[in-house]
Amino acid sequence: MNRLAIFGLAGIGEVGAGDSLGKLIVDACSRNGVVLEPDDVIVIAQKIVSKSEGRLIRLDGVVVSDYARELGRELDKDPALVELILSESQRIVRRGGRAMIVETHHGFVCANAGVDCSNVGLGKAALLPKDPDKSARKIRAEIQGLVGASPAIIISDSFGRAWRLGTIDLAVGVAGFKPIKDERGTKDFYGYELRAAVTAIADEIASAAELVMRKKEAMPVVVVRGCEIEKGEGSVKDLLRPEAEDLFR
């Protein structure tokens, strides 16, 4: 029988710039009676990673360009927020209503370049980590240095989807495993050769973890146990669809 366990780590507390997330996670595991296992996956909300890396910006300190003011009027958005979105983007993919869909410097196509004003304090905005894979590797190394175990790491964030309403959590950074499970060329139960069996396993785990995270209840770190993953070096870039194959751009 396959079983998947997903449990949140209570008591992480408020995270500040320079804090070691690895130590905070290890301490939370101790308080919650959790002993990390080699095949565990730790899912970490992007917001606390950004906080630890000093990626919070005060909106009243943003220098706003004329273009950002123009877009702000068009979209009914704070021009300082628009300026931050532009600074985190390599191009605007779509805009309309109050929405800006952009391609970030990481290659993510998402709303507002991941710039978010929730759970950071009034008048502030959080930016995505500059290199989420690097952030994940650092946290994994910190945990390994403290307890010896080196679980896989996912940094997650909320994304919308072009063809569905509502958001789900997806991986924006990974470490310690392959984020894609590719079963093309294998055969199903009936002997049919699979041709399109590519699973975004990192995104699936991130979405499952979000059910426990409950962003309003300060549960930004979740341990997922029992999920079959392929250990090794991986990157969130493995999950990005090439533009030539993207029918929505």
- Give the confidence band of 214 by pLDDT, cuts at 50, 70, 90: confident
pLDDT exceeds cutoff 90 at 137: yes
Residues 45-95: tens digit of each pLDDT: 999 999 999 999 999 999 999 999 999 999 999 999 999 999 999 999 999
pLDDT exceeds cutoff 80 at 182: no
Contacts of 1 (CB under 8 A, 6+ apart): none
Helices (H), the chain: 21-31, 46-52, 66-75, 79-87, 132-147, 201-213
Q: Please tell me the predicted confidence (pLDDT) of residue 185.
A: 65
Residues 162-176: tens digit of each pLDDT: 889 999 999 999 999
In the chain, pLDDT over 90 holds for what percent of residues? 77
pLDDT exceeds cutoff 60 at 1: no
The C-alpha angle 203, 206, 209, rounded to 5 degrees, equals 150
Residues found in the chain: 249
pLDDT exceeds cutoff 70 at 27: yes
Q: Please tell me the predicted confidence (pLDDT) of residue 83.
A: 97
User: Which residue intervals of the chain bear CATH 3.30.1330.100?
Assistant: 5-51+133-241
85 φ, ψ (degrees, to nearest 5): -60, -45
Query: For 24-33, what is the mean pLDDT?
Result: 95
Q: Please tell me the predicted confidence (pLDDT) of residue 248.
A: 74
User: Which residue intervals of the chain bear CATH 3.90.1660.10?
Assistant: 57-125
Query: For 233-246, what is the mean pLDDT?
Result: 90
pLDDT exceeds cutoff 90 at 235: yes
CA–CA distances in Å: residue 38 to residues 5, 24, 34, 225: 14, 19, 13, 10
Q: DSSP letter for 171, please.
A: E
Q: Please tell me the predicted confidence (pLDDT) of residue 97.
A: 84
Q: How high does pLDDT run on average in the chain?
A: 92
Between 199 and 127, name the one with better pLDDT: 127
- CATH homologous superfamily for 5-51+133-241? CofE-like (3.30.1330.100)
0.95 exceeded by pTM: no
The CATH number of domain 57-125 is 3.90.1660.10? yes
